[in-house]
Amino acid sequence: MDAMRSSSPQAPQSSLDSNKIGGGPGDTLEKKMSAGTAGAVAFGIEHGVGDLCKDFTIIRTELYDYCDNAMAIHDALHDAHKNNKSEAVVRTKNNAEITFTQVGDDVRISEGGNVAVLKNTNFYNLELIICMDAASAPGHYADFEATMNEKVKKNGGLDILRQYGTKWLSLLFHQKNGEMEKICKNAQIIHDGLHDAYKNNKKLVTLTMADKSEIRFGQGSDYVQIWTGKGFKESTTLPDMSFRGLCEILYQDAKRAPGYHQAFEESIKNKFAEGEKGGSVGILSLGIEYGAKRLIEACSVANKASASNFYRDALSIFSGLYQAFLSSEKKASVALENGTAVEFSLEKGNVEIKDEKENITILGSEDFLGICKKLSDEFLRKDKVDAATPLGGYGIYIKDSDLYEVGECVERNEYVQKFVEIDSCSADWSEDPFHQLKLDLPRMNYRLGEVGNERVDFKDIKIPEDDAGKSVADFADGIKKKCRNMYQQRMVGYLASQKCMLSLLRAGGYIDSKFTALTSNLFLVQSIDIIPEGGNVKVVVEYTTRLSTSEVNKMDMARRDNTSSSLSAKATFIVGEKGFYCEKSSFSREDPPSNTWQMAKPSAAPTAVTNDNGAVEGIGKHRKQFDEQGDQQAVGQENKQ
């Protein structure tokens, strides 16, 4: 155990507060320990339980209590470290409460009136020390070892590997090489299997682990479901996760512990070496498959410059392929950062990439939209935000001050255009470009303006369903006639739907987490105006909600969740035949008023809401101020989330 303690991490030095623990520097260990749990925990971490129980028989009871609670202490420290918290509270089996507090470079341990301080350490360091001591004195840590062994067995070791990483596990299983070998082998199996599924756009895959057991993985909209056991009857859900995300976690862990993942590393190197043989198109295909960050990390030195350009090339590739998809074209030429161009073409269910030197690479089981979705996953990853190179170089980011700047802001307009275009990529695209709009109109109970020479109104739900369906179809037909090609129809159909409105709200929330609000029952504006202008079509989108002081419960929730009591997002888009841009935009929000009690006043009836843009001519406009019901509740909830 001494050998283990001399290795990293270093054991901290404890300093007991003599006014609270009892005794001074010259007192015996037994006397210092007599004050209770805080001292026992500090000495247990500092010196190791095995030797202390052997050499100091008087304090065995306190230290055994510490061992019994080691798992709870470890988990509390781990959670605090993971969530960047400076305090961890543990409720022990005998119902005592121990508080760990990070104070500068020290950790303060308190229980009741007893206090101990561990010098020059932190929560993560203490986690590892507990783990190392448990590995060296397993007889004392029976509960700890049993719990960790159970975690290792779950999901092929994925759960514990995802939470703690190989370096941490190697400390716990340093004397069990077979366990580590199995965990690392499973990590590569899971990585390669999920990566192939992601690459080939599969949502369900079954993988065989090192012990011949099978695990099934399913990709949901924003989660991964894992099924294990006989008949796959046991399941686990990983929220806010994707196949690509799990692959990245396993890959980064392998980088931090290369000795344990040698086969894993060699496999990745070989795949990149093979891809780089394809020249510039090979590097592009690797970037699409693995992402820009991994491309730069894993690419050979000779191709680092080309790999670095992928950050900028990715946006051009996305825009070119997305326009081709929306236009139903089979080929797309994209200009790259280095001045050359590459051609993407659909060939028998695959995408062929060819450069000016006639180098060709094939992306199997792909289409233009599939590539765009892979790229969009990278563009909108919030963990990449960095002050020097926003989003790792992609540039899909602005400052809070730009988001709320009054008046025109070119940076905000460019951001909104990019965000909405990238976000729209995940929409369920139909052969009918106005499919979503047709669903929204009767369901949302919109009022329509002029459609040809006929005026159509939806009032409550009084219009028979058949008539409403015909009116919607006529309205969509009128828009279609004003669009000059399929691209314009599809993009107008998306921008004029509720999905674009939600995308605009997500754009605000992406920059400022407080840009979210519960939907008011009394004041809600959802407005979309469609205005043909020559060969272009203008789409004006507005969402505004404002909680009233009479909506007490919702206002209290806004204070509790630190969200907004009112917010507004507006944008004007100009859609051409081969692209669109955001002409102007604005965002605003307000914090809920302070929670001071006062007699509620009778609320006045909601007033009519007028369009800030004035009267609008053209195909038509739809606007509605309504109570929160049905799908409007879904809007508020999705906005809140």
The answer to whether residue 162 scores a pLDDT higher than 60 is yes
How, if at all, do strands 214-219 and 223-228 pair? antiparallel
pLDDT-based confidence at 328, cuts 50/70/90?
very high
User: What pLDDT shows up at residue 270?
Assistant: 92
| Two tokens, residue 157 | 């070791």
User: What pLDDT shows up at residue 557?
Assistant: 92
pLDDT-based confidence at 571, cuts 50/70/90?
very high
Angle at the Cα of 166 from the Cα atoms of 162 and 171, rounded to 5 degrees: 125
User: What pLDDT shows up at residue 381?
Assistant: 61
374-378, 438-442, 503-507: range with lowest mean pLDDT? 438-442
The answer to whether residue 621 scores a pLDDT higher than 70 is no
Torsion of CA 435, 437, 442, 443, to 10 degrees: 90
Neighbours of 571 (CB within 10 A): 26
CB 456 within 8 A of CB 471: yes
CB 89 within 8 A of CB 70: no
pLDDT-based confidence at 470, cuts 50/70/90?
low
Measured CA to CA, the distance from residue 547 to residue 539 in angstroms comes to 27
How, if at all, do strands 106-111 and 97-103 pair? antiparallel
The answer to whether residue 447 scores a pLDDT higher than 80 is no
User: What pLDDT shows up at residue 36?
Assistant: 60
User: What pLDDT shows up at residue 610?
Assistant: 31
341 forms beta bridges with 335
User: What pLDDT shows up at residue 134?
Assistant: 76
The residue among 366 and 52 whose pLDDT is bigger is 366
User: What pLDDT shows up at residue 518?
Assistant: 92
| Two tokens, residue 331 | 């080929």
User: What pLDDT shows up at residue 626?
Assistant: 28
72-81, 228-237, 402-411, 458-467: range with lowest mean pLDDT? 458-467
User: What pLDDT shows up at residue 385?
Assistant: 44
SS3 of 560, please? Answer: helix
CB 542 within 8 A of CB 587: no
Measured CA to CA, the distance from residue 553 to residue 538 in angstroms comes to 39
Q: Is it true that the peptide bond before 9 is cis, omega within 30 degrees of 0?
A: yes
User: What pLDDT shows up at residue 334?
Assistant: 95
For 144, the enclosing helix (H) or strand (E) is helix 142-153
CB crowding 301-321: b at 16 or more within 10 Å, else e: eebeebbbbbbbbbbebbbbb
User: What pLDDT shows up at residue 234?
Assistant: 86
What mean pLDDT comes out for the span 324-346?
Answer: 93
Neighbours of 411 (CB within 10 A): 14
CB 577 within 8 A of CB 484: yes
Neighbours of 154 (CB within 10 A): 15
CB 238 within 8 A of CB 402: no
Handedness of CA 44, 183, 219, 244 (dihedral sign): positive
What mean pLDDT comes out for the span 356-372?
Answer: 91
Of all residues in the chain, the percent with pLDDT exceeding 70 is 74
525: left (phi over 0), alpha (psi -120 to 50) or beta: beta
Give the model confidence (pLDDT) of 164-208 as tens digits. 778 767 766 655 557 778 888 999 999 999 999 999 889 999 999
pLDDT-based confidence at 469, cuts 50/70/90?
low
What mean pLDDT comes out for the span 552-558?
Answer: 92
DSSP calls for 182-228: HHHHHHHHHHHHHHHHHHTT-SEEEEE-TTS-EEEEEE-SSEEEEEE
pLDDT-based confidence at 78, cuts 50/70/90?
confident
For 261, the enclosing helix (H) or strand (E) is none
Provide the mean pLDDT of the chain. 77
- The answer for residues whose C-beta is within 8 angstroms of residue 573's C-beta and 6 or more apart is 417, 420, 495, 538, 539, 540, 541, 580, 581, 582, 583
CB 148 within 8 A of CB 164: no
User: What pLDDT shows up at residue 391?
Assistant: 43
DSSP calls for 481-535: HH--SHHHHHHHHHHTSHHHHHHHHHHHHHH-TT---PPPSS-EEEEEEEEEETT
**Contacts by 215-224 with C-beta closer than 8 Å and gap 24+?**
215/155, 215/156, 215/158, 215/190, 217/190, 217/193, 217/243, 219/243
User: What pLDDT shows up at residue 24?
Assistant: 38
User: What pLDDT shows up at residue 409?
Assistant: 94
What mean pLDDT comes out for the span 63-88?
Answer: 82
SS3 of 614, please? Answer: coil
The answer to whether residue 615 scores a pLDDT higher than 70 is no
The residue among 571 and 140 whose pLDDT is bigger is 571
Residue 108 — φ and ψ, nearest 5°? -100, 130
User: What pLDDT shows up at residue 437?
Assistant: 76
The residue among 50 and 363 whose pLDDT is bigger is 363
The residue among 613 and 571 whose pLDDT is bigger is 571
Measured CA to CA, the distance from residue 47 to residue 29 in angstroms comes to 12
The answer to whether residue 639 scores a pLDDT higher than 70 is no
User: What pLDDT shows up at residue 585?
Assistant: 97
Measured CA to CA, the distance from residue 443 to residue 452 in angstroms comes to 22
The answer to whether residue 308 scores a pLDDT higher than 60 is yes
The answer to whether residue 247 scores a pLDDT higher than 60 is yes
Neighbours of 428 (CB within 10 A): 7
Of all residues in the chain, the percent with pLDDT exceeding 90 is 30
What mean pLDDT comes out for the span 461-477?
Answer: 56
The residue among 255 and 607 whose pLDDT is bigger is 255
Rg, C-alpha atoms of the chain: 30
User: What pLDDT shows up at residue 394?
Assistant: 60
The residue among 464 and 396 whose pLDDT is bigger is 396
118 forms beta bridges with 14, 107
User: What pLDDT shows up at residue 529?
Assistant: 81
Residue 128: closest CA among 178, 70, 175, 182 = 70
15-19, 261-265, 373-377: range with lowest mean pLDDT? 15-19
SS3 of 552, please? Answer: helix
The answer to whether residue 3 scores a pLDDT higher than 50 is no
What mean pLDDT comes out for the span 104-133?
Answer: 84
Measured CA to CA, the distance from residue 27 to residue 421 in angstroms comes to 71
User: What pLDDT shows up at residue 451?
Assistant: 37
Give the model confidence (pLDDT) of 251-271 as tens digits. 988 888 878 888 898 899 899
CB 100 within 8 A of CB 77: yes
- The answer for residues whose C-beta is within 8 angstroms of residue 115's C-beta and 6 or more apart is 16, 17, 20, 21, 38, 108, 109
Measured CA to CA, the distance from residue 156 to residue 404 in angstroms comes to 47
The answer to whether residue 38 scores a pLDDT higher than 60 is yes
